[in-house]
Chain A
Amino acid sequence: MLVPGESTLKGSGEIVEKHGNESYSALVWRRLKRSWTGMAGLIMVGVLIFIALFADFLSPVDPKFTDVGYSSPEVISFADKDGGWTMFPRIYPMVEGAELDPITYQPLIGPDYDNPRYLGLFVKGAPYRLLWLIPAERHLFGAVDGKPVHFLGTDKFGRDVLSRALYGSRISLMIALTVVSIVTVVGTTVGMVSGYFGGRFDVWVQRFVELVLAFPQLPLYLALTSLIPVTAPTSVFLAFVILVMSALGWAQLSREVRGKTLALAGIDYVRAAIAIGARDRRIIFQHIFPNVMSHVIVAVTLAIPNVVLLESFLGFLGFAVKPPLISWGLMLQDTSKYSAIGSYPWILTPVAFVFATVFAFNALGDGLRDAIDPY
């Protein structure tokens, strides 16, 4: 449906460029380049998407591989067993020693100085499919002999935290992008249609939107996610989580879009289009849509971090995706026990990833808002 609108946009842009002027997108890009937070956000978003796409190449260990549980991060060292300096970076793997903790009687975990694991770039490791297509087994970095290295320690089942956090970006970003796409399509369409047709239809749609906005969001999300049968397959579960998260989000966007559409519907070119007998669909998608687009783009960029956060909070409470899928929220579920974060603070790693994501999208959204609408 949107294709004709987009193609004319591009077409008109090219014509304008021939006259030596700048197209709208070029103007926006030039303004965006001026804001350093916006550019930082853009770069970080790029890096995040790269991480999500190439998670298997970047992660040193298979995220499902289990090792010693709750072993602390292994530090890259240039010192050999006797403390002398060497050329080759290495880590000393954490192993369970023969000694027991005098209080808890748990085996003490400590570095094994006799068996260093040498580190290298582009080492062979667990096989995977690059971009879900090309079979490969090279990883960006890791132990030369293919043994696991845990730069950020392991979780309670002994799985590598760093690798899981990298893999987690896939599901977390996928959820965020899908939810935001659904919210955008529904919110924009409802808003434009309601604002354009007005009258009785508009009144009823707005009553409905008000109703949706009156729900206390967080408790409702919790109630809705508890609707999902525990035995459902992971894919169904994931789809349901996405649906639940989209259920309320569209209302606010549709309100804003409706406000803009109301103003646009009275403008001369729309009235002219009505006067020459253009169909409603054509007016909505050709004349109104391009004008609300800038607002929608900003709203979308700023909505993504909210979904990432929602996912991590629901995950923290144990209501998000189910294993074997990996997401940041799921990883944070273990951090709800004070004792666990006290003894093993490295399981808070996903917090840093969520922070970075939220910062990146917010910074980009901020920059875009100023670039698109400088007033």
Chain B
Amino acid sequence: MFRFLLIRIASAIPVLFILSVVTFAIIQAPPGDYSDFIRSQLINQGGASFEEADAQAKAYAAAHGLDKPIPVQYVNWVVGMVTEGDFGRSFFYNRPVADVVAERLPRTLLLALTCHLLASVIGISFGIIAATKQYSWIDSLLSFVSFLGMTVPRFLMALVIVYIMVFHFNVNEINSFFSPRYGGAPWSWAKFVNLVQHVWPIVAIATFGGLAYNMRVMRGNLLDTLNAQYVETARAKGLSEGAVILKHAVPNALHPLVMYQGVVLPYMLTGEIETAVIFALPTVGPAIVSSMAVGDVYVTATFMLVLSATLIVGNIIADILLALLDPRIRLGGGAN
């Protein structure tokens, strides 16, 4: 088990390395960097002449190593990251990238995790209900809900909800986590309620899609297991129907779902990013989009790297869970 884990983690390192190279190359490839942004800003908004602005931009580029060739910049970035935990400096926010990431990433991960958990719990319960009541009206209703969840595009749903909220219910605090009066206030029940009031649309939208996937997979799996002989045996032993389903059928139907989590995670993360961009909520999504627009390289590259790492970690966790659940994998059944 420990060895299995070690191999999984070790195999993630080259993937992360290649990811960082590719990401950095892609971001740096288009002409123009942050010094060009400074130049155009100075000319357009500061009223500087081209020579003045150019001198400023050149000085900035020299000070921050932007005038060096791209491979050198990359090596500097990685060396700083590995040796000192320094992810570089955000030009746009004018503070260390680590701070920007530390500010936004936990929110994104928390939101994505909340959605993920809700989607799993609700999806699995719906799946169990639908499978045990197959072909009843409740099954058709839940199938319809799951079809809607998979079909209705999250980003358009977000767009329409923003429209309705802002222009029909006069909500005017959609792009923040809290009302202004809770700024800097310590955590309290009221603050939590306020938070929920602000983020529920995002959680609801992202959950809806994930729920549909989970429910569909769960329903299919449970229907398969309910036909298995050991379930029949359990019934024949005289166990109550609830015990048969929850103790014998559901644990065995969960395996494919757990395996599936590695695929669902990026879907949930993308959903969170998409909706957060529409709602302009200060999380990772809008930060990536805006940093890309101004050429704030290290922020974009770090976010991409951190997101990939999250995906990889999520996959490893899914593998571990699967190994815990399924002795065939734990005992080396898949070793060949």
Contact = CB atoms under 8 A, between A and B. Distances in A.
Interface of A: 37, 210-211, 214-220, 222-224, 226-227, 229, 252, 305, 309, 312-313, 316-317, 332, 335, 338, 341-342, 345, 348, 351, 354-355, 358-359, 362-363, 366
B270 interface: yes
Contact of A218 (B18, B274, B308): B274
B288 A351 contact: no
A217 B266 contact: yes
Given A223-B23, A355-B153, A216 B163 contact: no
Given A217-B266, A305-B151, 19 more contacts: A211-B15, A214-B15, A214-B19, A215-B308, A216-B304, A217-B270, A220-B23, A222-B288, A222-B292, A223-B27, A305-B153, A335-B159, A342-B163, A348-B159, A354-B153, A355-B153, A358-B151, A363-B151, A366-B147
Given A215-B308, A219-B288, A223-B292, A348 B19 contact: no
Contacts of B288: 219, 222
Nearest to B16: A214
Contacts of A313: 155, 274
Nearest to A317: B289
B303 A219 contact: yes
9 contacts: A37-B147, A217-B270, A219-B273, A219-B288, A227-B29, A312-B155, A316-B155, A341-B163, A348-B163
Interface in B63-99: none
Counting chain A CB atoms within 10 Å of each CB, which of B27, B29, B156 scores highest? B156
Interface of B: 15, 18-19, 22-23, 26-27, 29-30, 147, 150-153, 155-156, 159-160, 162-163, 166-167, 263, 266, 269-270, 273-274, 277, 285, 288-289, 292-293, 300, 303-304, 307-308, 311-312
Interface class of chain A by DSSP: helix
A351 B23 CA distance: 32
Contacts of B153: 305, 309, 312, 354-355, 358
B151 A223 contact: no
Q: Sorted from nearest, which 8 A-B pairs have the closest CB atoms?
A: A216-B307, A362-B151, A309-B153, A223-B26, A342-B167, A219-B288, A313-B155, A218-B270
Contact of A354 (B156, B167, B270): B156
A216 B311 CA distance: 8
Contacts of A354: 153, 156
B333 to A, nearest CB: 16
B151 A224 contact: no
A338 B174 CA distance: 11
A68 to B, nearest CB: 23
Nearest to A210: B15
A293 B293 CA distance: 42
Contact of A345 (B15, B163, B269): B163
Contacts of A217: 266, 270
A177 B320 CA distance: 38
Nearest to A316: B155
Contacts of B30: 226-227, 229
B308 to A, nearest CB: 5
A317 B288 CA distance: 12
Contacts of B285: 218
Nearest to A336: B278
Contacts of A220: 23, 26, 304
A104 B45 CA distance: 26
A222 B289 contact: yes
A223 B277 CA distance: 16
B308 A214 contact: yes
Nearest to A208: B18
B166 A338 contact: yes
A151 B19 CA distance: 49
Contact of A309 (B22, B23, B155, B163): B155
A147 B94 CA distance: 55
B266 A312 contact: no
A219 B304 contact: yes
A219 B26 CA distance: 11
B307 A219 contact: yes
Given A227-B29, A338-B166, A215 B19 contact: yes
A348 B157 CA distance: 12
A332 B156 CA distance: 10
Contacts of A359: 151
A313 B166 CA distance: 21
Contacts of B155: 309, 312-313, 316
Given A227-B29, A348-B163, A216 B266 contact: yes
A343 to B, nearest CB: 9
Contacts of A348: 159-160, 163
Nearest to B220: A375
B195 to A, nearest CB: 22
Nearest to A361: B151
Contacts of A222: 288-289, 292
Contacts of A37: 147
A223 B288 CA distance: 9
